[in-house]
Structure 1
């Protein structure tokens, strides 16, 4: 009886899909440094095909619907969609980023939702500081 209950509870998760819902970056990033941008994942009710992502920076407060200066992009495709875990992507902060300033870091994600592949662009942002050394602690858009 107990095994049947555990199996019944696990089935929705086993068949579930996932989507990306936010971004995390180091709280301080040095100009010219390469760092990991972590795309935050959650379980979702339908399949999501993540096509590509673009990253950008802008001075606060930034501008809704824009990503500022493009600092990188990556094709995601089927290999990196519906992973069921956070997605680590490599980004390089431009060497021209001015130390001692805050920057809004953006991630713009192009995805296709569901069986009909409805297109969406989701934008996530978080403020980071440009400093001497890239930190190990992260700030999140959530």
Structure 2
């Protein structure tokens, strides 16, 4: 799936992603400032997360409750020094929990990514709009 959107319509982009039935592990690729965190926040809101969400840049992971039985984990791997740090924090347990795992900078943890996942690539167009490419990877 490929489409373009502007930041005023990011909530529609989040809905379109969810309507396409992505895997629960979503990997977000794109340059710094492209809007990965903003899109993750909109997806969280569309899934039913209430209240404020924030970037887990320093904590590496933020946990949100969608309902009493389902969680969403938002990861920002940008500051990870090496993959073993992710192992130490129990990353594999999160990834195989069956809950939503939305991961920014997944290139930091290539050996931990489950075989089945969704990839979202964001880029900025000349007019400031965003281009989104999404693919489901089934292992």
Task: Normalising by structure 1, report the TM-score.
Answer: 0.24
Task: Normalising by structure 2, report the TM-score.
Answer: 0.24
Structure with greater helix percent: 2
